[in-house]
Structure 1
């Protein structure tokens, strides 16, 4: 017996393509970050703390779609590498605030350059017009979804 193809199934390839591209992006980032002993996942946490002023584990979980256990383990590793500092909130000792350690700040200053090199590698097959079109399409999707990080980073520059 054969499995019939649902009428809209060919359109689901878009999810596959977006997901595989995101995976490839992380693999390229991992390779570019290897000399710094940081992973793509850790890169995202450091970027959020350094450039988007995210200073709590809960907000990192929301912005990066990670569960609290995974975030705790990630922060443990970053703290062990002396890149991140966790401090108890003075007003409410149950809450933790995050900051970059000295080494984390030094690395965070290099992350945009490293990220740009990785994106150039990923998108190098595209012509400049294609890159611009892809950027416009992604912005449109993210702005219409109300993505706070995109809106914070780009403001009204849709």
Structure 2
């Protein structure tokens, strides 16, 4: 199932199967969407977690980010984050920089020289996003964005990840 169909499935509830209640239908749509997002063909160059770490570091390029902060942002266990960062360091995507004021603190930085890998994958994903927008149209796209944000925020609060 392509991403366009999944977004429409989430957005247009009339496609819900008659024998399923809304809870099961929402779960099915959620699983379909996350399966597509984590699809190896979509994230063929970098694994999903590595691509997300790159995106976060790019969004905070002028800030000092630690592995602990990345764990909080991504709701990841420290061991999983360490595994992800070790793989990224091996690929030379990131550089670890020790804090001068506290030697225990290590900041994670992008290695600008190796960002072509991320940029190629990002361009591929953005092409898919552009196709989604073209298929859905501007108004439905805005509604889907709003709905997905509400869904993500609600799920985050329900799972106890939200810190007020």
Q: TM-score of the superposition, structure 1-length normalised?
A: 0.68
Measured in 1, the distance between the counterparts of 2:54 and 2:29 equals: 27
Displacement of 1:116: 1.0
Cα–Cα, structure 1 residues 105 and 32, in superposed 2: closer, same or farther, change >3 Å?
Answer: same
Match of residue 132 from structure 1: 142
Are 2:54 and 1:46 aligned? yes
1:125 positional shift: 9.3
Q: Is the 8 A contact 1:32 1:118 kept in 2?
A: no
Backbone CA RMSD of aligned residues = 3.0
Q: Decide which of 78, 83, 97 is 1:87's aligned counterpart.
A: 97
Which residue, 68, 73, 84 being the options, matches 2:83?
73
Choose from 102, 106, 109 the match for 1:96: 106
Any unmatched runs of 5+ in structure 1? 1-8, 148-158
Residue pair 2:46, 2:118 contacting (<8 A) in 1 also: no
Task: Count residues in correspondence.
Answer: 134
Asked whether 1:17 is paired with 2:29, we answer yes
**For the structure 1 residues 125 and 25, does the alpha-carbon distance in structure 2 shift closer, same or farther, using more than 3 Å as the test?**
farther
Structure 1 residue 142, shift from structure 2 partner: 4.9
Structure 2 gaps, min length 5: 1-19, 158-164
CA displacement, residues 37-58 of structure 1 (integer Å, 9 cap, x when unaligned)? 3112210010001123461111
